[in-house]
Structure 1
Amino acid sequence: GYCKAIASCYMENASGSHADRPELIRLLKDARRGDVLLVESIDRL
């Protein structure tokens, strides 16, 4: 099977309607080509 370790966890408490979302900004800075992103709900992204 296919298995990857979870390297980081980002939990946003800010509203998805706001552009100033510290955890999303941190995620985007940390993300590298080939990374896999798991989200609980796509509308939260």
Structure 2
Amino acid sequence: MKLIAEDSQLSDSMRKNAMDTIVNECSVDKMISGFEEAIDFVLKKAE
């Protein structure tokens, strides 16, 4: 969770959505898809 909060490559909305998912949803499927989206985003930025 600390990584999500501090990763400057994530947009504010993606960071907020990821944090909201972790804090409010507690749905493993939603959490995993959110992490996948964030990871894909960071990997595309790195290319």
Q: TM-score, normalised by structure 2?
A: 0.28
The higher relative CO (CA closer than 8 Å, separation ≥ 6) is in 2
Larger CA Rg, structure 1 vs 2:
1
Indicate the structure with greater helix content: 2
